[in-house]
Structure 1
């Protein structure tokens, strides 16, 4: 028998665009009139799907539609999807921050949520007071909270400021304390949104390790939303893929992530419109496919002002947003000097050491003391496998490629 701790049944959430609440008084009266006659809400029959990229024909939109899934005790469930897919709306419903338009949530046990920086914290109260406040909200006694207090403070790394009002904390410190409270006050279900991305790398690693311990060692349940697909792979055995407010797939994490990456893959080279302070354009050879192991080159254009002793660098990220390759002029003891009227520099990589996949190129220009210009993900490109005589790399083999000789 499955030990189901959380169940979503036919969850849908409808919003009226441009309105706070349900809309106009006439709409509310119409709903009430249908309700007392035992009839269905008339506005459930209308509304567009949750596609943020289209104009739509209705004032109503379904942020979520017909969401059904179960979560077993001790399971770590990932939830992924593009921006606007409905991930945060779903978590707010699961956390009972907002109610669904239709459907219901069945849960067994206390739920702790980390949805936004500072959620549930009182800025006028100290960190220590907020620990007790959050514990009380979770239904814990003062004695239970006191027994965990030292562990919470130590994990958060905010001991020096624990008796300082939270309104004086940085966003990173607030997240540290909020996560420590949620993790150590032993809720049966822990819901974590993208909020951990606010913390530094050391804390993110620490938090993911703690979530693993919570699930595997303590048998508690975690729902984890993140755009960091590497973290989802490391933490979750099963994942939900949301698209336009509906569940597109529920399966093992590798299958879901591969499907998500395939659906968002671009076969074409995309150079975004660049309006940098100094960098004005990026140019690549037209209609040229980019292959593993071959030459990869591009040109960067600058405005016509003079530039002396600057350093230009690039960063390439893979489909998961992880940095896989970078270089800058400073590494080579070079400086970028551009005279009035000269506004172009070429970049050439003789043998591109990337496996097939989708990548992005970012550019950074600095003078050593501060950044002159930053263009994040300015170019989106796809790398193809070059050698038809060799079996191409499989998914999960990583992003980097090196031509290798096997010597007997």
Structure 2
């Protein structure tokens, strides 16, 4: 059974305006509608690309989004800033209406889109719990039955009769999440508000969301930039980019697609280089960085780096060197290998690979500079040849695990003739 279904959902905004725009535009829309014609403003506008200035004052935050979410699914929504994730959740929560398309829901929706969503600042924590329950259509008796559990989970019992305007942002989100997770809604929508809480509470929230989906059979929609949390909690994924749906289905596939398109330097598998390196000595055919253990590169997975290339030379010694740089452009590691010695290189394809062991480098974005040497003299190089992201993992206390920073890690090399 479906919990949510979206059909051709689009959302358009006019920059600098509240709502759809000016009165003249709204009258123009109405005039076209009564004559049975298409809204003229649907034919204009640009995608929501924050990297370009753009020409139009109309922007499509979402365009032609179609999806189906089964009851009991945990859906992770991922994408870069400005991809349309929060806009989609606002549409599903009925905070705003789509410009075009329809949303079908089956069950009550509880949403937590930002700190203090649905809370009245002048009312106490206790009163806001009952207010939120009433908005969800629950009776006072049902809310009372869950009340002690909500307060205990939130950890704000001492301040439950204090107006929430005096709460810190952390207390706000603790109580708001506790209300959304414990009241009996069929669909739970969580935007990335958990970043406000401390590490212990984040872990507690993720555990609760896991219980909600696996134990209680409720549907959860979760937006986060914490890819590890998405992978552990969700079984399905939805990837957005510039307001368009790029990928949906298996969460691991969506994460890999996200990694491929994360940035110009960051390619999970750089098999199709638009500027393939080639000179009279070397033709590079592919680069690849992949986890040794598992299907996503994390601090504990280790990394296997593979380069396939064609040698156009004979009778020389050939070696390769890799310099690993982080997001701050600092070289943090280098390694090299001899492809051939005794001047026995052949005109053929070779695969050179090496492995960086687990817990060697931390969560960050990385890329390689790649060098070739003939008879121990550099003859070819490629800067920013390819890259990857390492995602962090959390320990039992909810803290991001740091690698010990091995000074001389044991790196395994291998060469294969193809």
How does 1:167-246 map onto structure 2 within 5 Å? 167-246=165-244
Q: Does 1:124 align with 2:122?
A: yes
Distance across 1 between alignment mates of 2:130 and 2:51: 43
1:178-206 Cα deviation digits (max 9, x unpaired): 01101111110000000111111101100
Distance across 1 between alignment mates of 2:187 and 2:12: 26
Q: Does 1:145 align with 2:152?
A: no
TM (norm. structure 2) is 0.67
Q: Equivalent residue of 1:194, what SS?
A: coil
Distance across 2 between alignment mates of 1:82 and 1:397: 17
**Aligned twin of 1:300:** none
Q: Equivalent of 2:367, from 382, 398, 401?
A: 382
**Aligned twin of 1:72:** 70
1:281-339 Cα deviation digits (max 9, x unpaired): xxxxxxxxxxx9xxxxxxxxxxxxxxxxxxxxxxxxxx999899xxxxxxxxxxxxxxx
Q: Does 1:82 align with 2:89?
A: no
1:314-372 Cα deviation digits (max 9, x unpaired): xxxxx999899xxxxxxxxxxxxxxxxxxxxxx9967799669xx999xxxxxxxxxxx
Q: Equivalent of 2:410, from 384, 387, 403?
A: 403
Q: Could you list the runs of 5+ residues in structure 1 that have no partner in the other structure?
A: 269-291, 293-318, 325-346, 362-376, 387-392
1:231-262 Cα deviation digits (max 9, x unpaired): 00110111111001000011211111112112
**Aligned twin of 1:342:** none
1:11-39 Cα deviation digits (max 9, x unpaired): 00011111112112221111111111111
**Aligned twin of 1:40:** 38
Q: Could you list the runs of 5+ residues in structure 2 that have no partner in the other structure?
A: 267-288, 290-295, 302-329, 336-354, 372-387, 394-401, 413-418
Aligned pairs, how many?
Answer: 308
Q: Is the 8 A contact 2:5 2:68 kept in 1?
A: yes
CA RMSD of aligned residues (A): 3.4
Q: Equivalent residue of 1:251, what SS?
A: strand
Q: Residue 18 and residue 161 in structure 1: after superposition, are their counterparts in 2 closer, same or farther (change >3 A)?
A: same
Q: Is the 8 A contact 1:117 1:174 kept in 2?
A: yes
Distance across 1 between alignment mates of 2:124 and 2:390: 48
Q: Equivalent residue of 2:7, what SS?
A: strand
Distance across 1 between alignment mates of 2:229 and 2:72: 18
Q: Does 1:261 align with 2:268?
A: no
Q: Residue 351 and residue 136 in structure 1: after superposition, are their counterparts in 2 closer, same or farther (change >3 A)?
A: same
Distance across 2 between alignment mates of 1:384 and 1:188: 50
Distance across 2 between alignment mates of 1:208 and 1:92: 21
Q: Is the 8 A contact 1:355 1:384 kept in 2?
A: no
Distance across 2 between alignment mates of 1:234 and 1:14: 33
Q: Equivalent residue of 2:193, what SS?
A: helix
Distance across 1 between alignment mates of 2:162 and 2:297: 38
Q: Is the 8 A contact 1:79 1:241 kept in 2?
A: yes
Distance across 2 between alignment mates of 1:98 and 1:168: 28
Q: Equivalent of 2:11, from 13, 21, 34?
A: 13
1:93-134 Cα deviation digits (max 9, x unpaired): 000000000001100110000000001001111111110000
Q: Residue 113 and residue 394 in structure 1: after superposition, are their counterparts in 2 closer, same or farther (change >3 A)?
A: closer
